[in-house]
Amino acid sequence: MLVRPLGPAEPQGGFGVFRIHQQRKVDFQVVEPSDSDAATTRSGRLPRWLYRMGARDHVVAWIKPKKVPEWMTASQYATLPERQVVRELRYPVGQPGFRVREVTLVTTLLDPELYPLEALAELYRQRWQAELHL
């Protein structure tokens, strides 16, 4: 099980493992952002790549968008940090009968030794099973 006290590399106040939204683009290419990408990153449209931990496992900083989203109040927006460091990872789903062939997760659990990809995939699978059996 993945329950333990928070370490210095993890956020104080909580952690999470979530399936990434289908509209958010996740690119696992090894190419670091160019200077032209830096302008886009500052605008908040792209995450800033920080470092790679595997072929489909990397750490990025999600940048706070300049404009308040329509669904959020200004006071809620003001409480958000300027950037959030997260780990994005993707794994294949080899389960016969499943429509999805691969799953992309985002997590605040950054340490690959404490939280290997396989353990995070199993944690997400267990959460999904709990949801199905409610």
8 A C-beta contact, residue 77 and residue 61: no
Q: Is residue 35 part of a domain?
A: yes
Report pLDDT for 49: 83
Distance CA 80, CA 30 (A): 29
Q: Is residue 4 part of a domain?
A: no
Cβ atoms of 107 and 16 within 8 Å: the answer is yes
Give the mean pLDDT per block of 10 residues along the chain (134 residues).
44 78 80 53 62 90 91 93 92 74 91 93 83 73
Is there a domain that residue 105 lies in? yes
Give the domain range for residue 100. 20-132
**CB proximity list for 117: less than 8 A, separation 6 or greater:** 54, 56, 57, 89, 91
Q: How far is 133 from 131, CA to CA, in rounded Å?
A: 5
pLDDT at position 41: 47
What is the count of structural domains for the chain? 1
Q: Is residue 106 part of a domain?
A: yes
Residue 27 lies in a domain: yes
